[in-house]
Amino acid sequence: MQEMMEKHDQLNRMKRNLDGIKHKIAVLSGKGGVGKTTVAVNVAVLLAKKGYKVGLLDADIDCPNVGKMLGIEETFKMEKEKLMPVERYGMKILSMAFFQGEDKPTIWRGPLIHSAIMQLVEKSDIGDLDYLIIDMAPGTHDSTLTVFQFLDISAAVVVTTPQSLSLLDAKKAALAAMHFNKPVGIVENMAGEIFGSGGGKKLADEMKVPFLGSVDMKKEIASENHIPIVLRDDSMRTGFEGIVENMKGLLK
């Protein structure tokens, strides 16, 4: 009974902490390495650049890569018993990686992942936001459920590479989002000579959901440069701007 009450209180605190967020957008995929973090970071940076209040939640508890991608080495500071998000490019960023001593690989069990995400959200000073972009772990297991159920997301962006295997996995991720009655859009990443292109659009048509756009395979994206590609490549920025506009179309 006591435990149930505590859970209930935690849920209420978390919901209150999310009250000031207009849109929560989860970026997901069927498998790892397809570019979720890349898409989440660049979409968030563009929105912030346009003047929106933006948060970026790294909900990949096992491999929290947002900080790595942006070259963030600092850890959380506490103020009035709240975790202060790390700020970069005008966005407020939350990640498990910002806890001290988190450089070893983490192996979490389902319930722990659930509570880690809940606590990041509940205990942080996230404030009022126009958009919270949520970079998810691959697949559709515990953390996906937590985010869909408890964070009450507004829409899901599914990232896939153009190959058929990735598309099959992406379909599962999209179906999970649809199961929760969330609007879904599809982004194709790493299009080009190596993996081909057009698979993302085909999947979107097949699932009758909007295709948000395609991002080419480009070696500059994978470079160790910690500046997001939309801030250093005009054609990439234009491409991502289209994706952001289409993504807004998912929101009511």
Ligand X SMILES: Nc1ncnc2c1ncn2[C@@H]1O[C@H](COP(=O)(O)OP(=O)(O)O)[C@@H](O)[C@H]1O
Q: Which residues contact ligand X by CB under 6 A?
A: 29, 32-38, 65, 189-190, 215, 217-218, 221-222
Q: Which of 42, 65, 124, 160 binds Mg ion (CB under 5 A)?
A: 65
- Report what 29 binds from ligand X, Mg ion, none; CB cut-off 5-8 Å by kind: ligand X
Neighbours of 171 (CB within 10 A): 17
- Report what 189 binds from Mg ion, ligand X, none; CB cut-off 5-8 Å by kind: ligand X
Helix 234-248 to helix 36-49 angle, to the nearest 10 degrees? 90
Task: Determine contact, residues 244/212, Cβ cutoff 8 Å.
Answer: no
Question: By beta-carbon distance, which residue lies closest to Mg ion?
Answer: 37
Cα(134)–Cα(189) distance, rounded to whole angstroms? 18
Residue 109: beta bridge partners? none
**Angle 18-24-30 (CA atoms, 0-180°, nearest 5)?**
130
Q: From the CB of 85, what's the least distance to ligand X, in Å?
A: 20
Q: From the CB of 39, what's the least distance to ligand X, in Å?
A: 7
- Length in residues, the chain: 252
Q: What is the 3-state composition of the chain as percent helix, strand, coil, each rounded to the nearest 5?
A: 40, 25, 35
Closer residue to Mg ion, CB minimum distance, 14 or 159: 159
Burial of 241 (0-12, 13-18, 19+ CB in 10 A): middle
Closer residue to Mg ion, CB minimum distance, 39 or 54: 39
Closer residue to Mg ion, CB minimum distance, 37 or 146: 37
Residue 158 belongs to what H/E stretch? strand 155-160
DSSP state letters, 31-93: STTSSHHHHHHHHHHHHHHTT--EEEEE--SSS--HHHHTT-----EEETTEEEPEEETTEEE
Q: Which of 26, 29, 37, 76 binds Mg ion (CB under 5 A)?
A: 37
- Report what 35 binds from Mg ion, ligand X, none; CB cut-off 5-8 Å by kind: ligand X
- Region of 28-36, 87-95, 149-157, 189-197 interacting with Mg ion (CB under 5 A): 28-36
Site for Mg ion contains 95 (CB under 5 A): no
- Region of 59-67, 78-86, 111-119, 147-155 interacting with Mg ion (CB under 5 A): 59-67
Tokens of 77: 């500071």
Closer residue to Mg ion, CB minimum distance, 39 or 118: 39
Q: From the CB of 241, what's the least distance to ligand X, in Å?
A: 16
Closer residue to ligand X, CB minimum distance, 123 or 200: 200
Q: From the CB of 218, what's the least distance to ligand X, in Å?
A: 5
Q: From the CB of 165, what's the least distance to ligand X, in Å?
A: 14
Residues contributing to the site for Mg ion (CB under 5 A) = 36-37, 65
